[in-house]
Amino acid sequence: MHDQTTPDGLPPPPPLPSIAQAPPVQHAQHYPAQKSVAVAVLLELLPGAFFQTFGIGQLYAGNVVSGLVFMIGYWIVAFINLMLCAIFIGFITWPLCWIAAAVVSSLIAANAAGRTSPRRV
């Protein structure tokens, strides 16, 4: 047999392997976990009632930014009302702010949790 060499005297390179076609890509659909509206509302009201911490139900429902803004914002309002207690107006404004925060934050958390639950047609 006759050895094949290149003009510079080196053996020829080995043949390139055939390029196999990549397997088809499977796309998975991820659905957000279903959140209970009742749990979201309870997580707003119970910590709000006992610890003056609103926003936990919004965190549960997936609204992290609005939950943290509501939590820190309420603490600022509560501090201002605490200072207003020195001139007795805080005893009126603090309960009013608490009721408003409880209602608004519960509605926001319920709406956020309702968006993650499946829609019935």
Q: Residue 8 domain-assigned?
A: no
Q: Residue 48 domain-assigned?
A: yes
Q: How far apart are CA 45 and CA 61, in angstroms?
A: 14
Q: Residue 18 domain-assigned?
A: no
pLDDT range class, residue 30, cuts 50, 70, 90: low
Q: Residue 31 domain-assigned?
A: no
Helix (H, G, I), strand (E, B) or coil at 22: coil
Q: Residue 103 domain-assigned?
A: yes
User: So what's the pLDDT on residue 21?
Assistant: 67
User: So what's the pLDDT on residue 6?
Assistant: 67
Overall domain count for the chain: 1
| Tens of pLDDT, residues 83-106 | 999 999 999 999 999 999 999 999
| Tens of pLDDT, residues 47-91 | 999 998 999 999 999 889 999 999 999 999 999 999 999 999 999
Q: Residue 16 domain-assigned?
A: no
The tokens for 121 are 């047609």
Q: Residue 42 domain-assigned?
A: yes
Provide the domain limits for residue 45: 37-115
Helix (H, G, I), strand (E, B) or coil at 25: coil
Q: Residue 108 domain-assigned?
A: yes
User: So what's the pLDDT on residue 43?
Assistant: 94
User: So what's the pLDDT on residue 116?
Assistant: 66
Q: How far apart are CA 95 and CA 101, in angstroms?
A: 10
